[in-house]
A and B are shown apart, each in its own frame.
Chain A
Amino acid sequence: MSTAGRIKNATILVQDARIVAIGADIDVPAGIQVINANGNIVTPGLIASATYLGLVEVGSSLDTDDRSASSEGLGASFDVRYGLNFNSVLIPIARADGLTHAVVMPSGSSQTPFAGIGALINAGTGNDLLEEPGIAMFAGIDGPSSSKPGQSRSAEWIVLRRALSEARALQDRGSGSEPDPEVPLRRADLEALGPVLDGSMPLVIRTQRESDVRQAVELSVDFGIRVILYQADEAWRVAELLAKHKVPVILDPMANLPRRFDNIGARLEAAAILHRAGVPLALHSWEFQMSHNAGQELRQAAGIGIANGLPWEAALESLTAGAARIWGIEDHIGKLETGMIADLVIWSGDPFEMTTRPLTVMVDGYAVPLETRQTRLRDRYMPLIRGTN
């Protein structure tokens, strides 16, 4: 199944990690390994647009948590790329649930509102998760909270704007010049914003309230930068505006609870409304599950979106080609088309049903093992259950 549509009884020919042919009438070369999909649905590998995969092993064990650089004095220049753990037991679980790529975010830095630079990872079995560093700059406009009392959202926007202004001024003055001492940002952090200003790196802003969503649009216009909204529960309220300015939204379709005053407007129809308005859409699952059950919960989130009005094809697109477009990787990832990297999943049924599982997951042209630490534990104790131990 490609986003161009459905092809029935299709054959996909993979050579040297790429799709070299796809269609109903493909000549299969002799001597090639054949995987029979038996009429099951095949989709591109799924892309999670927000996770901490590779950065965290046990949520509450801070010795396994490389998400934040809040104690190291790094701001926008914090980059998750150096801390990715390809031996993390979370990766095979994500892979076995049909995830082939994920955006990995920093969770915070010492320079609010910046969190730092994220990366795109590849959930294959290679010894480097990193597929593409510098996928985006991340910032969070959260306003005051119990952990940040007195942190007005106005201050966060002011710091963000000043930082962008000074980073641009620094660019204009040339590399030998000194940053404005009035701006409380280090040179390295200002320089890290360069790719955001020249349009080569998007700025992901995690924010929820409608007023902040509007501020984010204004920011993108004022600085001529690419802004992506993340966790924007109230974005549906300004869907037309976002569509007009082509601001993508990464959304959790399950978010419907007023957990804070910032997301009183959260509702299950948000994904459908944004899609209908033409807003580029990618999905994430709730933070508690977005890494440890990255694939399964993302599929459920998409299913909930569908149950609340998001067309099935749009849901699939938001986890494949649509996400790839948002992250600027659409030239080689996210579609089942000739020339694309062979990342695909053969599903036992509808990928958005929890009763469905991947039968085959292919990353970079390799059918990866679907074994996980969890299936090993299961198999160790199964004889006790069956009375065959």
Chain B
Amino acid sequence: MTGPAHAQPVDNPFPSTYQPAAPEDTLFLDATILDGAGNRHERASLLIRDGRVAAIGSAIDAPGGVRVIDADGRWITPGIVDPHSHLGSGSMPYTPVELSAWDVNEIGDPAVPHLYVETTIRTQDPGFAAALSGGVTSLQVLPGSANLFGGYSVVLKNVPARTPQAMKFPKAPPGMKMACGENPKYNYSELGRSPKSRMGIVAGYQEMFDDAMEYRDKLARFRHGQGDEPSHDPKLAAVAAALDGEVRIHFHCYRADDMAIVLDVARHYGLQITAFHHASEAYKIPDLLVKNDVCSVVFANWWGFKMEVFDAIRENAAMLEAYGACVTLHSDSAITGQRLNLEAAKAMAAGQHAGLDITREVAIQWITFNPARILGLEDRIGSLEPGKNADVVLWSDDPFSTYARADLVYIDGALAYDRSDAAMQPVSDFILGQPARETRP
């Protein structure tokens, strides 16, 4: 969806400084491997070398100097990708400052597409290490849903770091948060200002897109020697870049009717929406979602915490999958984000119970390949295929079991977490030296 003239390249002012840790070339033997590409390999081996997947199959020889791990009885999956997290933006412990002025939303202006959520990230949030112990290797942190245009998201590698930049996934395509429905409505009604209704919200999108189109046209005319250069407007520039297809739109939306209206607005402006997040009524409109090539990022079982999620059902993900629509799961929570594998188990089981043929090799894609795809990173992460980043989880058991634990987690071929070695379990600065964490003698 490329416009006639690009308003501006998306030039992130906080570039990634991520450096992979030293990779540990490793051969895993005799595992059950769910490769994230839709396959299940029994009694299979996986070789990772130089930070990448080197081979997957049944008879792989161990090259010299490679660590060999007997994974008999254990399972291997790609590193889990959480496409919707708020870790780091409002870090634990949630003190009154976090609760009354959470960094995740810039409340007061419903259109703040130019904000960067990486400017809120506290790398010492203990939630990162907890997510890592659940196999999460990459995550997208998004601004909240108080605003129509909430700002840029950021994709992080789940590694201990001193700065947000050092966690940033290099060259990840930019993403932007938008929101519809109850949250913006509620927030601005509280403030006594527009938009207080769904009508006001939709008009708010249209107004912003109209202004961004005009801005883009002025800029294009100026570049062709016609008219004055428009003064730089960071908000309009951000939205114009989105209209040019340079920014992936992550749209917080629950209800089928809300999503259908948003799709019409998007079509009018030639905007491709990458994914509806939460999308609890996506199962009611799979046809529209497929037609518009929009993925749904959904919960396994959350429902009823507000009115627009009252019709959520546990079969949502499985029904979308069965229809042929793109679907991923997400956490939206530091608690759920530690066990997305069990979210996949719940969503898979609900589908199977309803008679839908959802296998583990498909369901694992809901938390690996599919989220990688909506982040535009499916060429690098999300599946275990030769040449891709060696983001790997070795599970003690079937990852769809409540009893499964991540034994080892690798990011870019480097060991990031080892359940049997406390020295290989990141500890946030906040936790360090807290007597309440220490075992009494």
Q: Report the stretch among B34-42, B54-62, B109-117, B297-305 that lies at the interface.
A: B297-305
Let me know if B171 is at the binding interface, CB within 8 A. no
Q: Check if B346 sits within 8 Å of A354, measured CB to CB.
A: yes
Q: Check if B305 sits within 8 Å of A59, measured CB to CB.
A: yes
Q: Which residue of A lies closest to B430 (CB)?
A: A258
**How many residues of chain A have a CB within 8 Å of chain B?**
50
User: How many A-B contacts at CB < 8 Å in the complex?
Assistant: 136
Let me know if A79 is at the binding interface, CB within 8 A. no
Q: Report which of B307, B310, B339, B349 forms a contact with A357, defined as CB distance below 8 A.
A: B349
CB contacts (< 8 Å) of A116 on chain B: these are none
Q: Report the stretch among A220-228, A288-296, A337-345 that lies at the interface.
A: A288-296
Give the complex CA separation of A385 and B182 in angstroms: 27
Which of A210, A306, A375 counts the most B-chain CB atoms under 10 A from its CB?
A375
Let me know if B260 is at the binding interface, CB within 8 A. no
Let me know if A191 is at the binding interface, CB within 8 A. no
**How many residues of chain B have a CB within 8 Å of chain A?**
57
Majority SS at the chain A contact face: loop
Give the complex CA separation of A377 and B345 in angstroms: 21
Give the complex CA separation of A288 and B302 in angstroms: 9
Q: Check if B304 sits within 8 Å of A259, measured CB to CB.
A: no
Let me know if B342 is at the binding interface, CB within 8 A. yes
Q: Report which of A59, A60, A353, A381 forms a contact with B402, defined as CB distance below 8 A.
A: A353
CB contacts (< 8 Å) of B346 on chain A: these are 296, 354
Q: Which residue of B lies closest to A269 (CB)?
A: B439
Let me know if A154 is at the binding interface, CB within 8 A. no
CB contacts (< 8 Å) of A209 on chain B: these are 436
Given known pairs A146-B100, A355-B349, the reply for A288 and B305 (CB within 8 Å) is: yes
| Contact bitstring A12-26, B, C-beta under 8 A = 1, else 0 | 000000000000000
Query: Separation in Å of the A300 CB from the closest CB of chain B?
Result: 6
Q: Which residue of A lies closest to B346 (CB)?
A: A354
Let me know if B315 is at the binding interface, CB within 8 A. yes
| Contact bitstring B364-384, A, C-beta under 8 A = 1, else 0 | 000000000000000000000
Q: Check if B130 sits within 8 Å of A256, measured CB to CB.
A: yes
Give the complex CA separation of A90 and B312 in angstroms: 13
Q: Check if B402 sits within 8 Å of A261, measured CB to CB.
A: no
Q: Check if A260 sits within 8 Å of B94, measured CB to CB.
A: yes
Q: Report which of B284, B323, B349, B434 forms a contact with A354, defined as CB distance below 8 A.
A: B349
Let me know if B354 is at the binding interface, CB within 8 A. yes
Query: Separation in Å of the A62 CB from the closest CB of chain B?
Result: 11
Q: Check if B313 sits within 8 Å of A257, measured CB to CB.
A: no
Query: Separation in Å of the A207 CB from the closest CB of chain B?
Result: 14
**A residues 229-257 touching B (CB-CB < 8 Å):** 234, 237, 254, 256-257
Q: Across chains A and B, which 5 residue pairs bring their CB atoms closest together, nearest first? A: A303-B402, A265-B436, A146-B96, A59-B305, A354-B345
> What are 13 inter-chain pairs, A to B, with CB distance below 8 A?
A61-B307, A146-B96, A237-B440, A258-B431, A289-B302, A354-B346, A354-B402, A355-B352, A374-B314, A378-B354, A385-B283, A385-B319, A385-B323
